[in-house]
Amino acid sequence: MADNGRALAPVNNGGFKPSQKQERERLRTVTAFFIFGTLIYATYSLVIAGAQDILAGTFIQTSMVLVADIGPYFAVTLIAPYFMQKISYFARITTVFLSGIGGFLMLAFAKQVHWKLIGVGIASFGYGVGEVTFLALTSFYHEVTLSAYSAGTGAGFVIAPLYYTGKPRYAYCPSYYYFYSFF
């Protein structure tokens, strides 16, 4: 198994530059953490941006989407760090992927609002697990990965609402934005 901590370790070799292979590894790792941060927080802010469309035609307040979005996320990030190290990274990332897909498919295709809110909660659980997982993963790499992840979260908060508002409303039904957000 490769030593992941060495990929971004500071060079202490008397002033010589790292090899081209080490530079590629460093760039790939930093880019991956940036993308992880972007994807986790883009899904989070996409739900917030579409809160009114999720509840369209109902008398339910928009704050219910925020409760469904923040509740599971808060619970996971509050409780999971105490036992998450006992779960493999493969299982964690699989959970993030499956709950994201399942939550957004439920959100896109459900007709009743309570099912849509359950879909929001499932997706929220997934990106709560994702945040705990990827923040823990940064400890195996150089500190620049944490900066890349943080920059990715900022990019995700900006990209998703722009994507959501930029989609032509005449082309797609708003409930299908979540389905098309995978493409």
107 is written with which tokens? 């959100």
- Round to whole Å and give the CA distance between 45 and 110: 20
* Regions of the chain with pLDDT less than 70: 1-18, 168-183
CATH class of the region 21-180: mainly alpha
Q: How far is CA 51 from the centre of its chain?
A: 18
Rg (CA), the chain: 19
The CA angle 170-171-172, to the nearest 5 degrees, is 100
- Round to whole Å and give the CA distance between 75 and 128: 8
What's the confidence (pLDDT) of residue 23?
Answer: 82
Contact 140, 8 (CB under 8 A): no
Q: Which amino acid is at 67?
A: V
Return the closest-CA partner of residue 32 out of 40, 20, 22: 40
What's the confidence (pLDDT) of residue 24?
Answer: 82
CA distances from 67 to 18, 42, 140, 153, 154 (A): 48, 18, 33, 20, 21
